[in-house]
């Protein structure tokens, strides 16, 4: 992760979102879930001071209420500590699913009493976890998989997609460079024709 973060800064990428744990991952064996939760805690302890020093702003994308309270507190403390950092925004999607995000947004819109005729794309975007951030330009899929896996399904509607057979642990600066190079050669039309 550190290699990719440093490369993103070097290449001028302002926002990076990593998919760490999906809403569906709770269905994995309990020992695996507990290992992943513990790993998040260890990574926060080990990496947070350097991330803060390097100007990385941490954000959480997903649900917090199902994460153990002690880990919730650590995540919130990390967000608070880094909230003024501007070098790069790192969104960590943990207990995140695109469909779950949309259901939650719809529920909050209804709870806020918004009349149906006032619901438009801009309003829905304001109720998402990524409110206030631009939609992604590029989504990179590692491991050779050719599916979105419920990741940023609203926000990624017009993102360019890049798939690589490289596994995430092996994804490095050269891999990110290749993804960005491929992206730079594409024509983005957002549903319109060329021209």
Residues 65 and 156 reside in one and the same domain: no
Are 52 and 1 members of one domain?
Answer: yes
Q: Which residue has the higher pLDDT, 189 or 11?
A: 11
- Are 31 and 88 in the same domain? yes
Kindly state the average pLDDT of the residues 141-157.
93
- What digits encode the pLDDT tens for the residues 58-105? 999 999 999 999 999 999 999 999 999 999 999 999 999 999 999 999
Average pLDDT over residues 37-62: 93
- Domain housing 170: 134-185
pLDDT at 188: 83
**Tally of structural domains, the chain:** 3
45 contact partners, CB below 8 Å, separation of at least 6: 74
| Bridge partner residues of 138 (DSSP) | 160
Rounded Cα–Cα distance for residues 81 and 97 (Å): 26
Nearest Cα to Cα of residue 40 among 13, 15, 7, 67: 67
Cα dist from 6 to 47, 52, 59, 73, 166, whole Å: 13, 13, 17, 27, 19
Q: Are residues 159 and 90 in the same domain?
A: no
pLDDT of residue 110: 98
- Asked whether residue 190 is domain-assigned, the answer is no
Asked whether residue 192 is assigned to any structural domain, the reply reads no
Quick one: 77 and 17 in the same domain? yes
Return the closest-CA partner of residue 16 out of 58, 48, 45.
58
Q: How far apart are the C-alpha atoms of 77 and 95, rounded to whole Å?
A: 18
Q: Which pLDDT belongs to residue 195?
A: 63
pLDDT per position as a tens digit, 157-194: 999 999 999 999 999 999 999 999 999 999 888 777 77
Q: Are residues 37 and 120 in the same domain?
A: no
Q: Tokens for 5, please give them.
A: 């973060």
Mean per-residue pLDDT for 110-124?
97
For residues 54 and 78, membership in a common domain is answered with yes
Model confidence pTM above 0.85: yes
* pLDDT value at residue 191: 76
Residues 12 and 53 in one domain: yes
Whether 79 maps to a domain, the answer reads yes
Tell me the Cα Rg of the chain: 17
Are residue 101 and residue 152 in the same domain, yes or no?
no
Q: Are residues 11 and 82 in the same domain?
A: yes
Same domain, 166 and 144: yes
Q: Are 125 and 154 in contact (CB under 8 A)?
A: yes
Nearest to 81 by CA among 109, 119, 118, 54: 54
Please indicate, yes or no, whether residues 13 and 24 belong to a single structural domain of this protein. yes
Residue 143 located in a structural domain? yes
């Amino acid at each position: 992760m550190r290699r990719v973060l440093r490369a993103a800064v070097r290449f001028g990428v302002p926002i990076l979102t990593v998919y760490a744990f999906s809403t569906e991952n709770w269905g994995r064996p309990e020992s695996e879930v507990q290992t992943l939760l513990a790993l998040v805690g260890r990574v926060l302890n080990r990496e947070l001071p350097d991330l803060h020093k390097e100007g990385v702003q941490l954000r959480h994308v997903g649900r917090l209420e199902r994460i153990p309270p002690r880990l919730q507190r650590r995540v919130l403390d990390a967000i608070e500590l880094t909230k003024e950092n501007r070098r790069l925004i790192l969104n960590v999607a943990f207990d995140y699913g695109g469909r779950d995000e949309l259901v939650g947004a719809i529920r909050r819109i209804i709870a806020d009493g918004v009349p149906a005729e006032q619901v438009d794309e801009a309003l829905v975007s304001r109720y998402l976890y990524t409110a206030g951030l631009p939609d992604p330009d590029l989504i990179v899929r590692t491991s050779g998989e050719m599916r979105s896996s419920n990741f940023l399904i609203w926000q990624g509607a017009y993102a360019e997609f890049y798939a690589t057979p490289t596994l995430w642990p092996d994804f490095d600066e050269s891999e990110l460079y290749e993804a960005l190079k491929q992206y730079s050669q594409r024509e983005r039309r957002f549903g319109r024709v060329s021209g």
